[in-house]
Chains A and B, each alone.
Chain A
């Protein structure tokens, strides 16, 4: 077996800048963004995305709840007008609002609401090559409208479709150069599932080590799902 460090394919996963790691992004692209309600977002990649100037983006994410001075998150990206649509279970804090709410109310941003677990399962289906799943969630509500409902074991289930995107922007604690990732605490959240469901996956990480620097039992996102890495500021 050839030594790992000799291979250009391996070295190629670490990119020098966010801009470089986002090469190929285009107007109208769908982008998965990890993070939890404004925390643990891939800030450098989101800044980089803003810097590319692409527009009409569809963001699929948890939401933009928390805004903090000096941070650049989903809320700030949306405020810049590059986003056409957000698919999210709870796009902004219901009481404190923010730019997502403002733009939505002024008709400049489209919002599609998906129950959180349904979104997670649709992404998993997309990433795992499943064509659709029958879920019990949301039967009898607006979330089931227009969808096939079928009984299994006497209980109604809704057919939900698989979901995939063009890019995934992730935030992890550490990577090895092959692209294996580990997270910290609930910073894991959407990352591992989004990693599976995009054509190009980019992870922003605090540390990059040599292969072997991460215990093989502890790897949460396996290298096969990761295309590009960039070091966080």
Chain B
């Protein structure tokens, strides 16, 4: 006689074991909503609500945050509100470590049918499940093992149109835990009181039993926010490798430029850098009344720059060339000129998991050469690629310890866009505050994008 199936809270606790400190986790409708209540609100994990919240907690009445099911929930101190398109970017852009979904059916090859699809036969409406499945690094199916009619929800091949092809990595049901591998399903854990034969008997797909078969446990992990604060710019950039691609912000003038981090990068001396930036260092030779300001030129002069991708790479005046222009004319650096809006969009797309896009900007010009041209609705477009980088150094005004950032005035410009595009994003701020000090409506860059935070020292001068 098999044991009883697990209740939803126990399933959620087992699912929570998949989390790790600093993880970003998307929660689909249904059972996954139960995860936040099983964990303390430590800030050790970011739960996403597809409606536009980062850092949701368990159910709570009278709040202004809703989860995927439209129920009101709490928000972590340090959580942030955002929009649907930004959440889609967080999902698709490789920023989400885990998605928890409730499929109605999962096949041995990782295909799945979401419960909302199965519940609407003839319509097949999965809501956010497709985005969550395709965007997340790891997809957890959290579901009853059998339907209410006693049919297996784990099958060899899905019987309905699928919401994701080969997307599920692990299945946690009310009786077992299985992984999806190239050879099919492997049974890893059994619910207390269940045997391999009993689980196999109610599973409509072949199961390989792990040599390390265990009983499911229900302790939740202790999750802590990662320590993101670095003492100096050099500490925060020490692992920048030779030849790295780096997003560097700075619209052109003195505001919004990570001068302190730039100096750190200069002091480290790492060579062959490929900069992606609005300018290649023109603040010293153009307007703004800032002839001695630190800009990209300090890296160029230190022979660290192999290439610049920029919209405004040189001085407005040919008679006052920048360090970059001189290096370029000597053949020491490469240059890719990109229209400013295309640069911003390529970065946004890179960060939001959009591989490429058609833009009208530059069609029929020199900058369209070598690019696919396409007429859409009678208008000419060219294909541009998303841009990503290894590192990103940006300039914020304030950050909290979780990495949430606010900016100041027009110094926002490329910073929030670039923050989404790099493997490692380092922010230079005037001040670090405790979580909750930056309001959820006020946060511009949610903390999940930020890896390292450095305070610009109060005695640091942005001038040479």
Show the binding face of A for B, using Cβ within 8 Å.
36-39, 62-63, 65-66, 88-92, 94-95, 101, 104, 111, 113, 115-118, 120-121, 123-125, 128-143, 152-153, 155, 157, 161-162, 182-193, 216-218, 220
Contacts and interface: CB of A to CB of B under 8 A. Distances in A.
8 contacts: A63-B127, A94-B125, A117-B135, A121-B352, A131-B358, A135-B354, A136-B92, A136-B135
Given A89-B126, A131-B376, A193-B84, A185 B161 contact: no
Given A140-B162, A187-B64, 5 more contacts: A90-B125, A91-B123, A117-B88, A138-B134, A140-B165
A188 B64 CA distance: 10
A137 B83 contact: no
Given A134-B357, A157-B356, A116 B127 contact: yes
B246 interface: no
A188 B92 contact: no
Contact of A188 (B82, B88, B356, B381): B82
A133 B407 CA distance: 29
Max chain B C-beta neighbours (<10 A), residue from A38, A94, A155, A191: A94
Nearest to B120: A94
Contacts of B92: 117, 135-137
Nearest to B124: A113
A88 B125 CA distance: 8
A-B complex: 9 closest residue pairs judged by Cβ atoms: A185-B64, A140-B165, A117-B88, A117-B131, A94-B119, A131-B358, A90-B127, A152-B355, A115-B130
A116 B131 contact: yes
Contacts of A220: 83
Interface residues of B, number: 67
Interface stretch (B46-54, B304-312, B455-463): B46-54
B374 interface: yes
B85 interface: yes
Nearest to B90: A117
A59 B389 CA distance: 39
Contacts of A217: 406-409, 442
Interface in B355-398: 355-360, 374, 376-377, 379, 381, 385
B63 interface: yes
Nearest to B164: A141
A66 B70 CA distance: 8
A134 B355 contact: yes
B63 A188 contact: no
Contacts of A92: 120
B163 interface: yes
B65 interface: yes
Max chain B C-beta neighbours (<10 A), residue from A36, A38, A117, A130: A117
Contacts of A183: 81, 441
Given A37-B70, A185-B81, A117 B128 contact: yes
A89 to B, nearest CB: 5
B356 A134 contact: yes
A231 B114 CA distance: 39
B320 to A, nearest CB: 33
Contacts of B405: none
Max chain B C-beta neighbours (<10 A), residue from A36, A116, A133: A116
Contacts of A190: 83-84
Given A142-B124, A182-B441, A187-B64, A136 B353 contact: yes
B356 A133 contact: yes
B272 to A, nearest CB: 22
B125 A185 contact: no
Nearest to A182: B441
Contact of B162 (A62, A141, A152): A141
Nearest to A36: B51
B165 A141 contact: yes
Contacts of A182: 441
B81 A137 contact: no
B66 interface: yes
Contact of B163 (A124, A141, A186, A216): A141
A120 B88 contact: yes
Max chain A C-beta neighbours (<10 A), residue from B63, B115, B134, B374: B134
